[in-house]
Amino acid sequence: MFIIAGLGNPGTKYHGSRHNIGFYVIDILAQAHGIKVNKIKHKALIGEGTIAGQRVVLAKPQTYMNNSGESLLALKQWYKLEDSNIILVYDDIDLDSGVLRIRPSGSAGSHRGMQSVVYLLNSDAFPRVRIGVSKPPEGWDLADYVLSRFTDDEIEPVKEACERARLAIECIISTGIEQAMSRYNG
């Protein structure tokens, strides 16, 4: 069994923002596998189903980004999963827009949502799929930037990255993280 959590902020105010790219990937996975993500449990909007023959929980934490760990801790404790079976998907300003980076573990870096998850799970040993949203332009406040919408020029590369993220997550589930990194990083 796997928990696949896309990090983001709840509510229509944040729909379409860079910080909600994890939610988009969950939506794409849900649509591709006929999973309804419509139940509120463990401080998340969740849906249960099957991907690549494995039982999965798709989750969109509803705690706001900076408290994502609260939901992930509740999910981990309820489903009693190892960290390696929790896959996180989120935005990364240190990667150019549309670049995908998959890692089996690692630090949270400057991402506040990941800092919350690492702190509350007391571990950084879970797979993560990071999608580049680029650094803010000169003079932009970081919070304003990640809560802003994508430009017209960015939309297509970001959509393609989200689709590759879906394929990478399916690969992690079916053949493992090493194979996913080999096929989809870059």
**Biggest CA pair distance of the chain:** 48
pTM value surpassing 0.75: yes
Q: Hey, what are 51's tokens?
A: 């991907």
- Looking at residue 153, its pLDDT comes to 87
Report the amino acid identity of residue 115. Answer: Q
Q: Hey, what are 50's tokens?
A: 């099957």
Distances (CA, A) of 129 to 39, 103, 139, 152, 164: 24, 7, 28, 24, 10
pLDDT at 168 over 90: yes
pLDDT at 26 over 90: yes
The three-state secondary structure class of 155 is helix
pLDDT at 52 over 90: yes
CA distance 124 to 49: 26
Catalytic residues: 19
2-184: in CATH 3.40.50.1470: yes
Binning pLDDT at 50, 70 and 90, where does residue 116 land?
A: very high
Kindly report the length of the chain: 186
- Looking at residue 109, its pLDDT comes to 85
Domain boundaries, the chain: 2-184
CA distance 175 to 163: 18
Q: Exposed (0-12), middle (13-18) or buried (19+): which is 10, by Cβ within 10 Å?
A: middle
Binning pLDDT at 50, 70 and 90, where does residue 108 land?
A: confident
- Looking at residue 130, its pLDDT comes to 96
Are 105 and 88 a contacting pair, CB within 8 Å?
A: no
Distances (CA, A) of 183 to 70, 161, 171, 180: 32, 13, 9, 5
123-165 pLDDT, tens per residue?
A: 999 999 999 999 999 999 999 999 999 988 888 999 999 999 9
Mean pLDDT for the stretch of residues 96-101 = 92
pLDDT at 14 over 90: yes
Q: Exposed (0-12), middle (13-18) or buried (19+): which is 27, by Cβ within 10 Å?
A: middle
- Looking at residue 12, its pLDDT comes to 92
- Looking at residue 171, its pLDDT comes to 98
